[in-house]
Amino acid sequence: MIKGVIFDLDGVLVSTDELHYAAWSQLAKMIGITEFNREDNQRQKGVSRMESLEIVLEKGEKCYSDAEKVLLANMKNDIYVNLLTDLDQEAVLPGAVEILMRLKKLEIKIGIGSVSKNTPIILEKTGLITYIDEVSCGLDITNSKPDPEVFLVAANKLGLQPKECLVIEDSKAGIIAARAAEMRSLAVGPEHKKLDADYCSESLSNELDWNLLLG
Ligand code: B16
Ligand code: MG
């Protein structure tokens, strides 16, 4: 029986995945990489900032020292945080608030499991924070998805066993992490059919069978 739902953030509750893509594209151009594309960006979903940088750098010839890589990752984050300035509740994806309200009514605990270190600011600016019981994010963990740490920390903060949690994710790394955490999973988003989750749905705005998902 599921007692808690752990939501990924980017691409599940909010459309910030597009802002990540815009910021990485801008950084790539600044360092002379013109080949960075959406396919590369798909592989960045759910993985850490430094791992995402490596995916950009694969497309260029130049080698960077560790210190230079940190500077590049910081530059991308500055661009991204600047893009977050105008973020508000319009960035919340269709169906998300309705589901959060429904889960509240059912007394199901609600957690966030995101590797983004910008999770607190995104939850505040979108107003989603009012629905969330516990947040596990990039600031709480040392290993990013596909490692299960972010979901195990979320379950622990919610006071639940892994088998009592359902994870909702849009990335391959996230679904692998949910499996590794021994949690049930629902894949959403453009890649939902390819992610090998227990359940899948194109969007949170589609009708979902909550008896099946939580049973
Ligand atoms: P930040 P999620 C992930 O969030 C993004 O999907 C991924 O593209 C990004 O690299 C990562 O957060 C780190 O984000 O640079 O803001 O710390 O999908 O786990 O909610
Ligand atoms: Mg995501």
CATH 3.40.50.1000 corresponds to the domain 4-15+91-214: yes
Tell me: the pLDDT tens digits for 125-171?
999 999 999 999 999 999 999 999 999 999 999 999 999 999 999 99
Strand partners, 110: 5
Average pLDDT, the chain: 96
Confidence of residue 3 (pLDDT cuts 50, 70, 90): very high
> β-pairing, 109-113 with 165-169?
unpaired
CATH 1.10.150.240 corresponds to the domain 16-84: yes
- Confidence at residue 132, expressed as pLDDT on a 0 to 100 scale: 98
Domain with CATH 3.40.50.1000 in the chain: 4-15+91-214
Pocket perturbation via mutation, ligand 1, pick of 7, 8, 84, 116 by most ligand atoms within 8 A of CB:
116
Cα 51–Cα 52–Cα 56 angle in degrees, nearest 5: 115
For residue 133, indicate whether it is catalytic.
Answer: no
- Confidence at residue 44, expressed as pLDDT on a 0 to 100 scale: 94
Q: Render the burial of 173-212: b for 16+ CB within 10 Å, e for the rest.
A: bbbbbbbbbebbbbbbbebbeebebbbbbeebeeebeeee
Tell me: the pLDDT tens digits for 4-17?
999 999 999 999 98
Determine whether the annotation assigns residue 114 to a binding site: yes
Q: Is the pTM of this model over 0.80?
A: yes
- Confidence at residue 13, expressed as pLDDT on a 0 to 100 scale: 97
